[in-house]
Amino acid sequence: MSFTTSDSYKGQAIYTKFILTIYNLWVLGISNSLIWKCPTKKLLEQYNKYVSDNHLDVGVGTGYYINKCVFPSKDPNITLMDLNSNSLDYSVKINQRYQPKTIIADILKPINSNSKYNSISINYLLHCLPGSMEAKGIVFYNLKKLLNKKGVIFGSTILQGDIKQNMLAKRLLRIYNKKGIFSNNQDDLISLKKQLEKYFSDIKLIVIGSVAVFSARN
């Protein structure tokens, strides 16, 4: 299955300059704790566990995790990738001290880069992308090519399916999916596991609240 640019476009269109100013409070503060029941602290813990000094963050949003995580050394080599230039600009600004490189790219399309990374993060990106989890597997296919042999990919995504969700979560998911902010109506744990297993080994996958938290190696 292939996607038109307008399909890819929907999941990133919401990230205007204004939305990015309230993103950390609404998503990382309120929603993660009270609605998705996966406190940001847990995702930051995973980030700290796997991040390397040669790191690519995909779907950067506000660049929060790069800003807050602890890199193994003081001078990491960081690249930020996103389809939305507002997200890239915001994240670069907040992480200026690292002088990150940027790649503007649609992760559903082949990535034009020869660089390889020891760690790649994709937090809260998959649930923004159109299509079934099988179709979203293209993200893993594209990122595998950018991951060094012993590298690790890690991330998180909000699921549906058999996941227990409170009324607020169900309601918000309906609204977000209707508006095209999320496209995760078909995303469940089994289909995510299947896609990770198709491309990677040493899969670690747990569910915290509504959120699948995963890591995998090449």
Ligand X SMILES: C[S@@+](CC[C@H](N)C(=O)[O-])C[C@H]1O[C@@H](n2cnc3c(N)ncnc32)[C@H](O)[C@@H]1O
Nearer to ligand X by C-beta: 122 or 216?
122
Residue whose beta carbon is closest to ligand X: 61
Interface with ligand X, residue 80, by CB under 6 A: no
Query: How many residues belong to the site for ligand X (CB under 6 A)?
Result: 21
Find the shortest distance in angstroms from Cβ 170 to ligand X: 19
**Residue 52 in contact with ligand X, rule: CB under 6 A:** no
Among 31, 52, 77, 84, which residue sits at the site for ligand X (rule: CB under 6 A)? 84
Distance CA 61, CA 59 (A): 6
54 binds ligand X, rule: CB under 6 A: no
C-beta of residue 8 within 8 angstroms of C-beta of residue 183: no
Three-class HEC string of 137-168: HHHHHHHHCCEEEEEEEEEEEECCCCCCCCHH
Q: Which stretch binds ligand X (CB under 6 A): 47-55, 125-133, 170-178, 202-210?
A: 125-133
Q: Coil, strand, or helix at residue 14?
A: coil
Which residues, including other chains, have CB under 8 Å from residue 117's CB and lie 6 or more apart? 52, 54, 55, 56, 79, 146, 147, 148, 151
Site stretch for ligand X (CB under 6 A), options 7-15, 93-101, 142-150, 157-165? 7-15
146 binds ligand X (CB under 6 A): no
Those residues whose C-beta lies under 8 Å from the C-beta of residue 16, and which sit 6 or more positions away, are 86
Chain residues that interact with ligand X, rule: CB under 6 A: 8, 11-12, 15, 28, 59-61, 64, 82-84, 87, 106-108, 123-125, 128-129
